[in-house]
Amino acid sequence: MPDFDLFQPQRQSVVGIGVIFFQKVRRMLNVIISIVVVQFGIKADLTSFWFSGSIAILFIGLLVIAVLTYRNFYFYTIGDAFIIEKGVFGREKISVPFERIQTVNINQNVIQRLLGVVGLNIDTAGSSTKELEIAALPKNIARHIQSYLMEHKSNNIIQEVGEFEELTSTTIERKALMELNLTDLVRIGLTENHLKTAGFLFAIINGYYWQFRDYFTVYTENILNDDASWMNYWTLTLSLIIIATFIGIALLSVIQSILKFYGLRFYCDQEGVKLESGLLKRAEYQIPENKIQLIKWSTNPLRKMVGYKTVVVKQASSIVLNDKSAIMIPACREKQLERILSNFFPEREKSEFQEYCAQTWLQFQLSFLFAVLPATVFSVLGYFEYQFFIVGIAWVLVALPLSIKFAKSMVLKSNKEVIQLNRGWIFPQSVFINYYKLQNIQFKQNAIQKRRGLAHLILHTAAGSYKMWQLDEKQAMEIYNYGMYKIETAEKSWM
């Protein structure tokens, strides 16, 4: 690309004015709607001259700000750092060394798609939010910058302009690991955690209700005064409301699934692993393969019925990232999971796994904490209200087998190169880690455990820590010694 020199200050695409303008309009509309409803309710005259004039002046002001934002925004590289200069009324200069760059992702919302550009988000070490964002770039230039930054993050050396052009012109071979079709997306939506969605929806509705309480009170009072005959059939009405709510939640989950994961493709190439997905907002996430620390998968009762697992690929980070901040594949079948594991953990097939289970003491602990102790509290309350006795008995009958089953599900598997942790029964999850990716192994034992010959193991990685509870002391020490040996003698780098 002879016309593009990353060593000289560069502007975004000129259509970035439109992207920035619509971003600011969207934020401002939320404020305007809230102000109008709160202050005037349904009595607001949206056709009045003062209201129309205020909106017109506001939009002109936002357009001016968008133009100034575009004109004052520059990006370039100096030495081993990526620089962004921006500001409307004041100037701000952000410098990020290549070594601090975590990921460089490409996103494309509806406005960007209509204008033929994409956004570039640069996540950096020590920040849980995206620190740098370029809102409007041609897709080919965005990919070139992405490749350049990720390459120089690894090498951390100054490149000449010619080398940049050579890097970005390289043809990269892709290896597809899995894709999702429309049927998969519908099943993903139907097998979501609907109770969680219901709670989220309730929180939103409740928040808006209290924000606009006066308006809703007047509106509902009018309805109740006009026709209250439905109260005579409150049982049927309540049942229909509950059924309609769950149907609505299921449909909402399906729509969210299609919008977020439409066209999902997960593949690897010379730059690492990439995931592309999204209908209205197309997103592309990338992790260099050497930064992948572990792979985690889990499921729930509904997804287990249709044979799906949710897979998370986690990278090294200086902060603790949740699963939503990693690359997540919402639905993966057993064969697809095997293909992914074979790609990133070929060592798992070179030797047999040994299995280490949590000892019986863990069953006793969990049963006491989650079954016996709460039931005892209910029994005490039963002296005042006999219904609590019934609740206590029911609690023990349900919580006791669940606690024992969960304790039995705690299993550590290990061969010569890979370690795997399993836990959970209703919501099972597993974690796969290469020994050379471990940063440390902690052998933890208190006085009670020492007397009983038990110990905990904590596996520390650059993507988080994972704990194996109540192992036999000799087995825990054996794994600890072998793990420390593998860490100290590893020829491969964990990054």
The total number of residues shown for the chain amounts to: 495
Q: What is the pTM of this model?
A: 0.78
Residues 225 and 81 in one domain: no
Can you give the pLDDT at residue 167?
A: 40
User: Mind giving me the DSSP string for 345-393?
Assistant: -GGGGSS--EEEEPPHHHHHHHHIIIIIHHHHHHHHHTTT-THHHHHHH
Residues 212/217/218/224 CA torsion (nearest 10 deg): 140
The CA distance from 4 to 233, in Å, is 71
Total number of domains in the chain: 3
- Residue 453 zone, left/alpha/beta (φ > 0; ψ -120 to 50; rest): left
My answer on whether 81 and 210 are in the same domain is: no
Residue with tokens 């039963």: 382
Structural domain ending residue among the three candidates 118, 137, 170: 170
Q: What are phi and psi of 272, to 5 degrees?
A: 130, -150
Residue among 131, 135, 109 at smallest CA distance from 120: 135
**Strand order of the sheet with strand 81-86?**
74-78, 81-86, 92-97
Residue 311 in any domain: the answer is yes
Residue 288 lies in a domain: yes
Do 325 and 383 belong to one domain?
Answer: no
CB 202 within 8 A of CB 28: no
Q: Please state, in angstroms and as integers, the Cα–Cα distance from residue 145 to each residue in 85, 149, 163, 349, following that order.
A: 17, 6, 13, 38
CA–CA separation, 387 and 285 (whole Å): 53
Same domain, 185 and 126: no
Domain membership of residue 458 (yes or no) is no
Instruction: Report d(CA 220, CA 229) in Å as an integer.
Output: 14
The pLDDT value given to residue 474: 96
The span from the CA of 112 to the CA of 16, in Å, is 8
Whether 155 and 175 map to the same domain: the answer is no
Residues 21 and 55 in one domain: yes
Q: Is 415 part of any domain?
A: no
pLDDT of res. 209: 62
| Paired tokens of 169 | 């012109």
Quick check: is 466 in a domain? no
Give how far Cα 459 sits from Cα of 127, 185, 328, 467, Å.
24, 34, 22, 6
Which residues of the chain are modeled with pLDDT < 70?
1-3, 34-47, 125-131, 154-174, 204, 206-235, 318-325, 495
Same domain, yes or no: 266 and 394: no
Considering the domain boundaries, does residue 492 fall inside one? no
Domain identity same for 259 and 192? yes
* Pair (155, 183) in one structural domain: no
Q: Which domain holds residue 153?
A: 16-170
Cα separation, 43 vs 37, whole angstroms:
9
Q: Both tokens of residue 165?
A: 């052009």
What is the distance between the alpha carbons of residues 308 and 178, in angstroms, rounded to a whole number? Answer: 13
Beta strands in 142-195 (DSSP E): 175-179
> What is the reported pLDDT for 2?
44
Cα separation of 126 and 131, whole Å? 10
Give pLDDT, residue 169. Answer: 42
What tens digit of pLDDT does each residue of 441-468 get?
999 999 999 999 999 999 999 888 999 9
Last residue of a domain, one of 136, 170, 204: 170
Establish if 292 belongs to a structural domain: yes
Residue 334 confidence (pLDDT): 92
Same domain? For 279 and 385 the reply is no
Q: With beta carbons less than 8 A apart as the criterion, state whether 32 and 46 touch.
A: no
Q: Burial level of 485, CB count in 10 A (0-12/13-18/19+)? A: exposed
Does residue 175 sit in the same domain as residue 260?
yes
Q: Is residue 180 part of a domain?
A: yes
Q: Final residue of a domain: which of 129, 144, 170?
A: 170
Asked if residue 180 and residue 157 are part of one domain, the reply reads no
Task: Convert the pLDDT of each residue in 236-256 to its tens digit.
Answer: 777 787 888 888 888 888 998
